């Protein structure tokens, strides 16, 4: 990675990256999918391809904070069901990155994310519950049926692919967890462990592609401190958001992130 690109930036550019790091922390502990805005900011300040390598360690820092916050609420049967398919998606994404054009990748992922958000909204409106439970239990709707297993594999492959090529797996998995019926805390706990494990597993692939090196890690060291206040802000906010508003915010963040991938 070009040292000049990383260190010869204006104060405003560094401030933009710092704000994006705050948003990473917030998204990990409050509104999953919002960090696609951070992805867009990093790609605007840094070269698009290299920006994914700089952003990855910052995402991992946010994942660690999210796991520490919601570790008791993870639904491990869902995670074990997803991981094999995600591994396939990560490998496919790595191969794709060797030759893919940035614009084609962004446009494809943005279109897929917006399509899934639309399908999720349509399905939820057709199956609008008559009453919303007051508790926030950890058990989602049944996901062990044949249809549930197929959906988990499909979303898993797509999530692995999108997170590898653009760090944009958040919207994909948000739509899966919402469609599977996860409540607020189980949603956050499951996604926290999911992205910690997946993002850590991506590090060797990103390093092998030259997207992570000593220079990028120095910039990460300067930015990672900004993740912490964002995570605390998210923890404060999520306790004040009811289930319906939480779902609406997740879908809205997903739509914004997908649109940004299409337009930038």
Asked whether the beta carbons of 63 and 190 are under 8 A apart, the reply is no
Encode the chain (264 residues) as per-residue pLDDT tens digits.
554 455 577 888 899 999 999 999 998 998 776 777 787 788 778 877 778 889 999 999 999 999 999 989 988 988 888 899 999 998 888 888 777 776 776 677 677 667 766 766 776 676 555 444 444 444 555 455 666 777 788 888 988 887 787 777 777 787 788 778 888 888 899 999 999 998 998 899 888 888 888 888 999 999 999 999 999 998 998 888 877 787 777 778 777 767 776 776
CA-to-CA distance for 48 and 44, rounded, in angstroms? 7
Task: Give the distance from CA 94 to its chain's centroid.
Answer: 17
Report pLDDT for 200.
Answer: 93
| Residue 209, phi then psi, degrees to nearest 5 | -85, 0
The length of the chain in residues reads 264
CB 63 within 8 A of CB 217: no
Which pLDDT belongs to residue 138? 47
Q: What angle do CA 12, 17, 23 make, to 5 degrees?
A: 125
- Written as one string, the DSSP assignment of 85-148 is HHHHHHHHHHHHHHH--HHHHHHHHHHHHHHHHHHHHHHHHHT--SS--SS--S--S---SHHH
Q: Which residue has the tokens 């959906």?
A: 151
* Cβ atoms of residues 218 and 210 within 8 Å: no
Q: pTM score, two decimals?
A: 0.78
């Amino acid at each position: 990675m070009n040292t000049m690109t990383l260190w010869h930036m204006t104060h405003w550019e560094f401030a933009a990256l710092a704000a994006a790091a705050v948003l990473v922390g917030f998204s990990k502990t409050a509104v999953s999918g919002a960090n696609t805005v951070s992805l867009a900011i990093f790609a605007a300040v840094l070269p698009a391809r290299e920006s994914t390598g700089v952003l990855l360690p910052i995402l991992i820092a946010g994942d660690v904070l999210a796991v520490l916050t919601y570790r008791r609420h993870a639904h491990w049967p869902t995670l074990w069901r997803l991981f094999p398919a995600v591994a396939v998606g990560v490998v496919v994404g790595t191969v794709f990155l060797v030759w893919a054009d940035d614009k084609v990748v962004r446009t494809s992922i943005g279109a897929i994310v917006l399509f899934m958000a639309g399908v999720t909204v349509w399905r939820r409106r057709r199956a609008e519950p008559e009453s919303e439970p007051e508790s926030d239990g950890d058990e989602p709707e049944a996901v062990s049926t044949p249809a549930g297993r197929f959906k988990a594999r499909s979303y898993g492959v797509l999530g692995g692919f999108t997170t590898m090529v653009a760090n944009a797996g958040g919207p994909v998995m948000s739509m899966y967890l919402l469609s599977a019926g996860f409540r607020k805390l189980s949603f956050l706990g499951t996604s926290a462990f999911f992205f910690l494990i997946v993002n850590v597993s991506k590090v060797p692939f990103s390093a092998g592609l030259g997207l992570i090196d000593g220079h990028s890690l120095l910039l990460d060291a300067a930015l990672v401190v900004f993740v912490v206040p964002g995570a605390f802000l998210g923890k404060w906010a999520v306790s004040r958001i009811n289930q319906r508003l939480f779902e609406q915010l997740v879908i809205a963040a997903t739509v914004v992130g997908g649109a940004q991938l299409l337009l930038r």
